[in-house]
Amino acid sequence: MLNVVILAAGKGTRMHSAKPKVLHTIGGQPMLAHVVASARALKPARMIIVVGHDAERVQAVFSGVNDVCFALQQPQHGTGHAVQQTVDQLLGKDALQDKTLVLYGDVPLVQPETLRGLIDASQNGMAILTEHLDDPTGYGRIVRDQQGHVAAIVEHKDATQSQRAINEVNTGILVAPTQALKGWLAQLDNNNAQKEYYLTDIVGFARAQGVPVYAAHPNNQWETLGVNSRAQQAACEREWQQAQAHALLEKGVSLADPARFDLRGELHCGRDVFIDVGCIFEGKVHLGDGVHIGPHCVIRNTTIEAGTTIHAFTHIDGAQLQDKTQVGPFARLRPGTQLGQGVRVGNFVEIKNSRLNTQAQASHLSYLGDAHIGQRVNIGAGTITCNYDGAFKHLTVIEDDAFIGSDSQLVAPVTVGAGATIGAGTTLTRDAPAHALTLSRAKQETITHWQRPKKKANSK
């Protein structure tokens, strides 16, 4: 039986933010959400988040989540004190088999595979996740005994010259037998300069009782990066994005520059997908076979089917695009947009809550909101569906093979019949019949003696 305790009580003073540190994001998700996701993959019997600073705000992020419970650390007196607050909630009675894993809400990128390795390494004792650093300055050093087990964790300021030469350091992440851990937590004291209860002191208690202390290492060095400042957050973000980019490359996705790619959710790609520089993907995005995404696009919660090309600087949110569509550059597809097979949407076209059926096209400079647009419809430049009357939204229907001339305003609710033509410059306020020309223009006149107003010579 496995318990997971996640320490998330700190304020994060160095972030200089009103937001709790663990709610700052990496890859579009709160840091704490990353840790919870990795812990959840282990299928623990209980997951406890220790909250403190702005506790209600942190808890609200996980409201309605059934597999998470909370413990309050108020005030905060160190990592050992934080874990002490969970003792009454820890499950398990088997002295060796029941374990408790301690994670940190500001170490967001640790992966389930690494945690499984740590649990396996604990065997009949406890285990600590350690890391080898080229520059271990400031970190607690791992001192081993002749059997290779962890003998002690020595803080940098307390280390001897020879101990400071050790480059294996403590990450803080550990797993211990639950029943033994409860006893060790009860022995903690705060007889130190910081007057805090340190979780690392349990290593000495374990050794004194003859409980072996093992070590395991992360699969990737970036997994143990902690975030205490904006600079560390930015560094962590880049490491995460590089890892996501590498995973996509391994699956056959072509990235123009992996260093200029941002994933803030889930991205699922078919074969032969190409993604140009500067693109951002948020929420859940699916790209079908052969999709081409041009530079500097933002795509959120969208499905784009095979053979589609999205040109530069296009924003798509909550849309569904069937195969062989073309969109952009500089287009905006808002939630509820559905594009049928072969639809073409050009530059500076905005579409919201509208369906364009097979081979319809709106090539430039138009707004289409709350509209059902049939097959092979042509939307001329400057066309607007006037869908909002100041209180309610209304529907525009344009049936198959209609032609909408440039600079037309379709005042909803209104229907344009199949095969109809709307003359350029028309303001349509009533239904237009099928297979006919409808237009509304004032008669053109020329006034021959008219003169343009001129300023007087001395006027300013």
Q: What is the 3-state secondary structure (H, E, C) of 134-180?
A: CCCCCCCEEEECCCCCEEEEECHHHCCHHHHCCCEEEEEEEEEEHHH
In the chain the first and final C-alpha atoms are separated, in Å, by 87
The confidence score (pLDDT) of residue 270 equals 98
The confidence score (pLDDT) of residue 450 equals 87
- Which residues are paired to 214 by β-bridges? 127
Q: Are 316 and 300 in contact (CB under 8 A)?
A: yes
Cα–Cα distance between 80 and 223 in angstroms, integer?
A: 22
Residues ≥6 apart with Cβ < 8 Å to 33: 61
The confidence score (pLDDT) of residue 458 equals 72
Domains defined for the chain, CATH in brackets: 2-224 (3.90.550.10), 230-438 (2.160.10.10)
Cα–Cα distance between 421 and 436 in angstroms, integer?
A: 6
One digit per residue, pLDDT tens: the chain, 460 residues?
999 999 999 999 999 999 999 999 999 999 999 999 999 999 999 999 999 999 999 999 998 889 999 999 999 999 999 999 999 999 998 887 899 999 999 999 999 999 999 999 999 999 999 999 999 998 899 999 988 889 999 888 888 999 999 999 999 999 999 999 999 999 999 887 788 899 999 999 999 999 999 999 999 999 999 999 999 999 999 999 999 999 999 999 999 999 999 999 999 999 999 999 999 999 999 999 999 999 999 999 999 999 999 999 999 999 999 999 999 999 999 999 999 999 999 999 999 999 999 999 999 999 999 999 999 999 999 999 999 999 999 999 999 999 999 999 999 999 999 999 999 999 999 999 999 999 998 888 889 988 888 888 776 5
- Cα torsion 167, 168, 173, 176: sign: negative
**Tokens read off for 187:** 């022995």
The confidence score (pLDDT) of residue 242 equals 96
The confidence score (pLDDT) of residue 457 equals 78
The confidence score (pLDDT) of residue 459 equals 60
**Tokens read off for 129:** 């996740």
Residues ≥6 apart with Cβ < 8 Å to 30: 22, 23, 24, 61
Q: Name the maximum alpha-carbon separation found in the chain.
A: 109
The confidence score (pLDDT) of residue 409 equals 97
Task: Find the catalytic residue in 24, 34, 81, 364.
Answer: 364
The confidence score (pLDDT) of residue 155 equals 84
The confidence score (pLDDT) of residue 442 equals 84
What type of residue is 292? H
The confidence score (pLDDT) of residue 460 equals 59
Q: Say if residue 106 is exposed, middle or buried (CB neighbours under 10 Å; 0-12, 13-18, 19+).
A: buried
364 given a catalytic annotation: yes
Residues ≥6 apart with Cβ < 8 Å to 267: 244, 248, 281, 285, 287
